[in-house]
Amino acid sequence: MQRRTLLAGLAALPPAARAQGIAAPPPGYPDRPISLVVPFTPGGSTDIAARVLAERMGQRLAGEGFANARLIVENRAGAGGSVGSEYVRRAAPDGYTLLVATASSHGSNPAALPQTTPYDPVEDFTAISVIGGGPMVLVVPNDSPYRDVAALFAALRRPGAHASWATSGAGGIGHLTGELMLHRAGIAGAEHVPYRGGSAVMEALAKGEVEFSLEVLATTAPHLRDGLSRALAVSSLRRTPLFPAVPTLDESGLRGFDITTWNVLLGPRGLPPAVAELLSRTANAVLADPAVRERLNTAGVEPADPGSPAATRAFLTAELAKFRGIVAESGLRLSR
């Protein structure tokens, strides 16, 4: 039995990994449930992506002979994703505790709040695979008088103008995206109001508690479809296929503006390379499935193309540097 398990583990590795001498996963791995930690509350884009991934990765591993393998989503929210991330950082590097990291937990928060982020977002984790992402959306209530970015910016620039805008947390990707947008637009005085999660942001927007928000596409999409809110622009360089009529901030006058959110699958530091390769290969196969891609796209999460653990680490490193640059450019100073 052990020999068959070992051979199965070797077969699970890609040819390039076998050629490089990467060892097989530990005999029997995975032979029990894997905890997939989401560092945010249920219902958001990260949670949606995690549940799709957990379901299909578990099915695929079972189909490859790992009968007891399944992925169980565990929500550990708090401190902009730091609580769940720190939990995984401290977990045993055995492949049974994984993290769906986000642009907030491993990009914007460490960049904006390094003094209160208890981990190194790159060095304290093992990169596995990029899951996907999407743009932030500049969104206003449906009854807002502002029909486009130019009208909103013109109102915000008027002498004595006062406006409040919402995001799902200080230091999160929505906050940094909004600060950079306002900085490049030459707007000062708009008050940032942090809420606890994207659903609370959209509720506040619908009630007219704030004038606008920067929120992830997956959270805004249902409200946009239902006519509760209206999108003025997206933060990526290209328009989103989900709402192709919505222009980009680049098209709306902020040339070169390009910020996207993302989800990345990570393990604790010291995860065996063969385990990371097996999980990466499985995630890549799931994300290549047209049915999975359609589910994620409908939810507002654009699935990533296949990539390796090394490429995932390089992506994470580059994004962290990008967010640190945003903090420096906007002059943002935060304390928690």
Dist CA 64 CA 314 (whole Å): 29
- Over 70: is that where the pLDDT of 18 sits? no
Q: Tell whether the model's pLDDT for residue 2 goes beyond 50.
A: no
Q: What is the pLDDT of residue 137?
A: 97
pLDDT one-digit tens code per residue, 72-113: 999 998 888 899 999 999 999 999 999 999 999 999 999 988
HSE value, Cβ hemisphere, 13 Å, CA-based, for 321: 6
Residue 19, pLDDT > 80, answer no
The Cα 249–Cα 214 span in angstroms is 12
Burial class (CB in 10 A: 0-12, 13-18, 19+), 96: middle
Q: pLDDT tens for residues 195-210? A: 877 888 999 998 999 9
pLDDT tens digits for range 251-263:
999 999 999 999 9
What value does the mean pLDDT take over residues 241-258? 96
Q: With beta carbons less than 8 A apart as the criterion, state whether 57 and 92 touch.
A: no
Percent of the chain with pLDDT over 70: 92
Q: pLDDT for 51-67, tens place per residue?
A: 999 999 999 999 888 88
Asked, as a colleague might, if the bond just before 272 is cis with ω within 30 of 0, I would say: no
pLDDT at position 96 is 97
Domains of the chain by start residue, with CATH: 2-133+261-330 (3.40.190.150), 135-234 (3.40.190.10)
Q: In the predicted model, what is the mean pLDDT of residues 111-140?
A: 95
> What are φ and ψ of residue 305, in 5° steps?
-75, 160
**How far is 146 from 53, CA to CA, in rounded Å?**
38
Instruction: Work out the average pLDDT over 272-296.
Output: 96
Tell me the pLDDT band of 236, cut-offs 50, 70 and 90. Answer: very high
> Average pLDDT, stretch 187-197?
89
- Residue pair 218/134 in contact (Cβ under 8 Å)? The answer is yes
Q: Select the more confidently predicted residue: 117 or 11.
A: 117
Residue 218 pLDDT greater than 90, yes or no: no
Cα(109)–Cα(201) distance, rounded to whole angstroms? 18
Residue 270 has a pLDDT of: 97
pLDDT at position 101, please? 97
Span 34-49, average pLDDT: 89
Lowest mean pLDDT among 181-185, 193-197, 236-240: 193-197
What does the CA dihedral 180, 185, 186, 192 come to, rounded to 10 degrees?
Answer: -50
Q: What is the pTM of this model?
A: 0.86
Q: What is the DSSP string of 50-116?
A: HHHHHHHHHHHHHHTT-TT--EEEEE---GGGHHHHHHHHTS-SSSSEEEEEETIIIIIHHHH-GGG
Angstrom distance (rounded) from CA 194 to CA 125:
28
40 pLDDT band (50/70/90 cuts)?
confident
Decide if 173 contacts 144 (C-beta within 8 A).
no
* pLDDT tens figures, 310-335: 999 999 999 999 999 999 998 877 65
